[in-house]
Amino acid sequence: MLIDLGESDGRPIYGRIADRIKFAIAGEVLRPGELAPSVRELSKRLVVNPNTVARAYRDLQAEGLLEPVRGTGLQIASGAVERCRSIRVEFVRGRLRSAFEEARGTGLPAGEIETILHEEWRRGDPNDGKGA
């Protein structure tokens, strides 16, 4: 799970870690009541400074998605799934929106952008070319 942080596109590592946790909650890979992976373990797995993971967890606590359990660790909060689902959708929406805005900002004709859009969208589609 969430071993990979994707490309280092300039976004802070802690933010990407937090996002991954959110998506894992939304996808019910992590369920309410379960413990999030420990800071030490996760930092080893990601080959990242423990402080960085701690920072991600701190942010998640601030958002009410993780709750500390004394002497045990951090537990996924009860209402977390729903909140993460909408976060997830809004995340996607925001990314797409700003990508489109930037693309249009170049002055390229919309048709040309749309062509690229189709190409790139298909490119990552695992079902593409399979059949039907």
Residues that bind a copy of itself (CB under 8 A): 6-9, 12-13, 19-20, 23-24, 26-27, 49, 62, 70-71, 88-89, 91-93, 95-108, 110, 112-114, 116-117, 119-121, 123-125, 127
Please state the closest distance from residue 42 (CB atom) to DNA, in A: 8
Q: Please tell me the distance from the alpha carbon of residue 94 to that of residue 106, in angstroms, as a whole number.
A: 19
Applying the rule CB under 7 A, the residues between 60 and 79 that interact with DNA are 61, 68, 70-74
DSSP strands (E only) in 39-103: 66-69, 73-76
Give, as one character, the DSSP assignment of residue 56: H
Q: Please tell me the distance from the alpha carbon of residue 81 to that of residue 30, in angstroms, as a whole number.
A: 9
Binding DNA (rule: CB under 7 A), the pick from 52, 76, 80, 87 is: 52
